[in-house]
Structure 1
Amino acid sequence: MQAVSLPEISSASQMRNGEIRAKNEMTDGERARQRSENTFGCHKAPKIEIRASGSNTNSVGPIQNAYQDITDPASCPRYPGRRRSEERSFDEALTIVLCVPCPCEPALTRQRLWPSSFLWGSGTWSGLAPPATLVFDQSTEGRTLSLEIPEKLSFVRIYTSLEQARQATRRMAPTATTAAGDNVAPTASKGSSRIQPDPEVVQYPKFDKDPVTPEEVFARAEQVSQLLHEDEAIRDRGNVVPYRQVQLLKDAGLVTILGPKSAGGAGLTWKEAYQVIRIIARGDGSLGQLIGYHYLWSWTAALVGTDEQRTKYEEWITKNKYFVGGAVNPRDADLKAREDENDPSKLIYNGKKTFSTGSKISDVTILEGSLPDGSHVFAPVLSRQPGIVYGDEWVDTLGMRGTQSGGISITNVVVPWSEALGYVNKQFQPLGAYNTLNLPQIQLVFTSFYLGIAEGALARAAAYTKATTRGWPYQPTPVARGTDESYIQIGYGDLQAKLWATASFIDTIIDEASAILHTNPRQSITEEQRAKFAVRVAAAKINAADVGLAITSQIYELTGARAVAGKYGFDVAFRDLRTHTLHDPIAHKRAEVGRFALHGPGKDGWPTPTWYT
């Protein structure tokens, strides 16, 4: 066993089934004070030793910038003989946070070991390792942190001070975007070892002020969309949870555009919100979906709440720049809501949802549960609290990986009756057809990010074709440039024409949607308005799905064989669209429009309001 001192920590070229130990050396008096105060001595930075045990350990020199590399730096660990500069991702890395847990630093106490991201020369890599466990042993010799090293471990990041560890925790822990100070990070669960931390390839700018006008909002959304696309493929392949990207949406002032001006919002309409969804999706489909869901759940109090609840809720989330998710998946059993036996002024929620898009990275989650009498009740709660646990099942899915749409477990989450949306004196106050607008509203959210994904994919494919695609020499009349190939011109012409027509129709539906959603008083919306709106949204979604899937698959025929390389990321758009268009069967949307065409425009052709219609 070798023992070395910081900052010159020796590195071992092989560490198989070994362990790293950090030891806090204290005097007898300090140990006595520690035991009496139960503080583990972390208020004073401990002197740390790193000990590596295992076979064939060889010293290879000091560590630079607190990094410990235990592989040959000239080769990639997954592909021997290939230099690192040729391999941008590998899955055998681990981050170690060397700090002593302290009751006054709960975020550090709960911090699990996260895979590391690191820089080597001009290239960037991200790493992923099996979950590892820190074991804390208290003895008369002080605190010892023991870690079993995975057999193929290739890289270790070491933090040698409490401040370094605290900064790393803020950057990588699941509480990164949480505004509420008393919330806690979600517990690591099955699948979490497949989730890599954000490699932070792109550094996001600071913004002087939030956009206010539609033109400012759209320009800011374009800027953010471009930033998001720069590392979209990297984050997609690493199942990265987009804490930093959601924070970017907040910092850019895009999460509050529907919020009241009195609370710091832009006071804009759904016409602008749908356009922002579309713009963000051009760069990153997952983030387009997330901000779309945020806008939807931000509107929950408007859809079902009283006027007073709506005002209070919208000011609350706008002032705090809260990001909102929902635990509402209707294909699962309802959450159960019951009155607290010990305090009849409160409700208690319990249950599970298989999918909860947006909740894991949110500040506020909308809960929807059924009361014993079968009536439904919506309520907003802070997302980070002991009774809410998020799953990590949403890994290695075909697409929309960045949404992290895993499950959620709700255990004894307490909500005051006063925050049960739409309830007065424990009785629901209906708004008529307006209460059911959330279904065509969310279907138009889907349609908007489908359109954005397709627009982004076609634009990037055309740029690639102009810059890279060559003409085919083995034909009667060869051409040098791919852009001069007749089949490529015809292909782009066909796809662009369909996309323009689809976008034009969607724009008209968005105008209609904004007018309906901003109707005042809300009770004035009729069933006929709702029905015809829903049918037209269904038609728009059909077109967006069909054209989007055609574009994202056919662009390969127009770009050429080299475009299949993962570094171009063209596959992400197809996988995202193919995944979400399965959300609810598009065939039922076709039938819905067909029934209206055959039996409408009267009631016989109207769609019946359901959780998906």
Structure 2
Amino acid sequence: MSTTEIARLDAETAPLVARRLADELALGDGSRDRDRALPHDQVKAYAAAGLGALTVPLVFGGPALPATTVAEVFRLVSWGDPNVGQVPHSHFVFLNQLRLNGTREQQQRIYSEVRAGALVANAQSELGTKHVRDIRTTLTPVVSTGSTTDGCEWLLNGEKFYCTGSLFADYLAVLTHLDVGGPLHVAWVRAETPGVEVIDDWDAVGQRTTGSGTVRFTDVPVADDWVTPFAVTFDVPTTYGAFAQLLHAAIDTGIARRALDEAGEFVRTKSRPYPDAIAIAGVEKACEDPLVVHAFGEMELAVRSAEALLAEAARRVDEADASLSAESAAEASLAVAAARAATAKVAVDVTSRLLEVSGTRAALAATNLDRHWRNARTHTLHDPAAWKVQHLGRWAVDGTPPPRHGQI
């Protein structure tokens, strides 16, 4: 990484920069999806604009911007291309993990590189385990000396999948046991470290260019001062999970708004009116059909509702961070759960109705309008929305607070 520090953004300039980047992303997101052209240049532009350093604490030279600003940046960038919008998701989540559990020396080292444009990607989930929180990857102590691992305390072995952003990353934040059966920690590993293999094998129907495939670790040397605790995160109230889920909700909201915008443009310029609308309602254009207009009204209402819930959830996260307690952390998680459940439904519904209101021509492969539904459907599978509703229901019925983990 270059040691040149990127200009620091603030709460006013960050969304403006994100909007300009989103407009540029929107010029080519369809072709990148069609050709599965990985957005290396676009991710570099994201980092070069200073958008990756939004949450670096003030003491380490960052702007320490609130969740409201970060969520808005995610929503805007995801409007332009939700693949690029999702790439830095884990970057911000693990920078938050670093803030909570890293030593001052660890924070100084990593935050300084992030200010210079470094990107962090996750290596968390694994295929073939019992559930998403079942981890086999392990750091084992080095028992010999005089080898290539001399001077390092641990060897990292394991294989991860769904490693979003790994193809673009400078650092991989690896969720791993500290010794066999030990507590979960995060190993901060440079992507170019010997023994690290980043594999381009992501083949989902949507979010095709997020670089979310396999990363394999084979006897990767890791020094002790590149390891931070993870399991302890949930011993006390935090907004760790709420913040992570908030950014997912922002991605879904951006997808929904872009789909609605493109539907409007298509109906105004390409769709033909239905014969009955001409005969009965006397319309000349598809965009004048009262049934089409009503459908757009319903979608606009849904997207505005999602945007409002997103903004409210972000505000609750900021309030909890300002005065953290078990109650404020629970309120933040519940607000984010509501936003996440709503934005997931709205994103899938609106991206499907895009084709309904636009007509048969919109289904032609050349339009690639189906990418919005494919992106929404793929991204919303991260966490079951039904469990968000379940926790909201338990709170409403008997005041049971949501569990403490990274998925609510």
**Pairwise same-fold verdict (TM > 0.5):** yes
What does the per-residue CA deviation read over 1:65-92, in whole Å, with 9 as the maximum and x for residues that have no partner? Answer: xxxxxxxxxxxxxxxxxxxxxxxxxxxx
Residue in 2 aligned with 1:315?
Answer: 112
Separation (CA, whole Å) in 2 of partners of 1:264 and 1:438: 22
For structure 1, the residue ranges without an aligned partner over 5 or more in a row are: 1-178, 182-208
Name the SS for the 2:305 alignment partner.
helix
Higher helix fraction: Structure 1 or Structure 2? Answer: 2
Residue in 2 aligned with 1:591?
Answer: 390
What does the per-residue CA deviation read over 1:461-496, in whole Å, with 9 as the maximum and x for residues that have no partner? Answer: 112222333322343233102221100110011111
Match of 1:421 among 212, 225, 228: 228
Residue in 2 aligned with 1:148?
Answer: none
Match of 2:295 among 488, 491, 503: 491
Separation (CA, whole Å) in 1 of partners of 2:287 and 2:41: 38
Matched, 1:550 2:354: no
Name the SS for the 1:533 alignment partner.
helix
Contact map agreement 2:207 2:378 (CA 8 A) in 1: yes
* Per-residue deviation, 1:456: 1.0
Residue in 2 aligned with 1:464?
Answer: 266
Matched, 1:359 2:158: no
Contact map agreement 2:167 2:200 (CA 8 A) in 1: no
Alignment-mate amino acid for residue 502 of structure 1: A
Match of 1:392 among 192, 197, 200: 200
Residue in 2 aligned with 1:606?
Answer: 401
What does the per-residue CA deviation read over 1:345-376, in whole Å, with 9 as the maximum and x for residues that have no partner? Answer: 62221101122111221111111211235211
Contact map agreement 2:312 2:335 (CA 8 A) in 1: no
Separation (CA, whole Å) in 1 of partners of 2:49 and 2:85: 14
Matched, 1:480 2:316: no
Alignment-mate amino acid for residue 275 of structure 2: P
* Per-residue deviation, 1:299: 2.1
Contact map agreement 2:316 2:331 (CA 8 A) in 1: no
* Per-residue deviation, 1:542: 0.8
* Per-residue deviation, 1:332: 5.3
Counterparts of 1:283-294 in structure 2, within 5 Å, are 283-294=80-91
Separation (CA, whole Å) in 2 of partners of 1:210 and 1:471: 50
Alignment-mate amino acid for residue 316 of structure 1: E
Contact map agreement 1:388 1:410 (CA 8 A) in 2: yes
Residue in 2 aligned with 1:275?
Answer: 72
Separation (CA, whole Å) in 2 of partners of 1:263 and 1:567: 48
Match of 1:568 among 358, 367, 370: 367
Alignment-mate amino acid for residue 305 of structure 2: A
| Count of aligned pairs | 392
Matched, 1:580 2:387: no
Alignment-mate amino acid for residue 374 of structure 1: G
Separation (CA, whole Å) in 1 of partners of 2:85 and 2:186: 24
Separation (CA, whole Å) in 2 of partners of 1:540 and 1:271: 13
**Seq. identity, %:** 26
Matched, 1:369 2:176: yes
Name the SS for the 2:267 alignment partner.
helix
Contact map agreement 1:332 1:354 (CA 8 A) in 2: no
C-alpha distance 312-180 of structure 1, shift in aligned 2 (>3 A): closer
Match of 2:32 among 217, 222, 235: 235
C-alpha distance 512-312 of structure 1, shift in aligned 2 (>3 A): farther
Match of 1:338 among 140, 144, 169: 140
Contact map agreement 1:472 1:479 (CA 8 A) in 2: no
Q: Considering Cα pairs closer than 8 Å and 6+ residues apart, tell me whether 1 or 2 has the greater RCO.
A: 2
Residue in 1 aligned with 2:214?
Answer: 407
Contact map agreement 1:293 1:445 (CA 8 A) in 2: no
* Per-residue deviation, 1:460: 1.8
Separation (CA, whole Å) in 2 of partners of 1:597 and 1:515: 21
What does the per-residue CA deviation read over 1:6-54, in whole Å, with 9 as the maximum and x for residues that have no partner? Answer: xxxxxxxxxxxxxxxxxxxxxxxxxxxxxxxxxxxxxxxxxxxxxxxxx
Alignment-mate amino acid for residue 364 of structure 1: Y
* Per-residue deviation, 1:440: 2.2
Separation (CA, whole Å) in 2 of partners of 1:564 and 1:332: 40
Matched, 1:444 2:246: yes
Name the SS for the 1:574 alignment partner.
helix
Contact map agreement 1:471 1:478 (CA 8 A) in 2: no
* Per-residue deviation, 1:421: 1.7
* Per-residue deviation, 1:449: 0.4
Match of 2:187 among 373, 379, 384: 379
* Per-residue deviation, 1:392: 2.4
Alignment-mate amino acid for residue 212 of structure 1: L
Matched, 1:501 2:305: yes
Alignment-mate amino acid for residue 236 of structure 2: A
Separation (CA, whole Å) in 2 of partners of 1:608 and 1:211: 36
* Per-residue deviation, 1:331: 4.7
Matched, 1:252 2:49: yes
Name the SS for the 2:12 alignment partner.
helix
Match of 1:326 among 94, 117, 122: 122
For structure 2, the residue ranges without an aligned partner over 5 or more in a row are: 126-131, 145-149
TM-score (norm 1): 0.60
Name the SS for the 1:607 alignment partner.
coil
C-alpha distance 369-422 of structure 1, shift in aligned 2 (>3 A): closer
Alignment-mate amino acid for residue 509 of structure 1: A
* Per-residue deviation, 1:406: 0.5
Counterparts of 1:46-445 in structure 2, within 5 Å, are 179=1, 210=7, 212-260=9-57, 265-318=62-115, 320-329=116-125, 330-331=132-133, 333-342=135-144, 346-371=153-178, 372-395=180-203, 397-422=204-229, 432-434=235-237, 437-445=239-247
C-alpha distance 232-313 of structure 1, shift in aligned 2 (>3 A): same
C-alpha distance 332-240 of structure 1, shift in aligned 2 (>3 A): farther
* Per-residue deviation, 1:557: 1.9
* Per-residue deviation, 1:379: 2.6
Contact map agreement 2:22 2:80 (CA 8 A) in 1: yes
* Per-residue deviation, 1:556: 1.5
Contact map agreement 1:473 1:479 (CA 8 A) in 2: no
TM-score (norm 2): 0.88
Name the SS for the 1:394 alignment partner.
coil
Alignment-mate amino acid for residue 212 of structure 2: S
* Per-residue deviation, 1:180: 7.8
* Per-residue deviation, 1:314: 1.7
The structure with the largest alpha-carbon Rg is: 1
Alignment-mate amino acid for residue 398 of structure 1: V
Separation (CA, whole Å) in 1 of partners of 2:105 and 2:218: 28
Name the SS for the 1:400 alignment partner.
coil
What does the per-residue CA deviation read over 1:106-155, in whole Å, with 9 as the maximum and x for residues that have no partner? Answer: xxxxxxxxxxxxxxxxxxxxxxxxxxxxxxxxxxxxxxxxxxxxxxxxxx
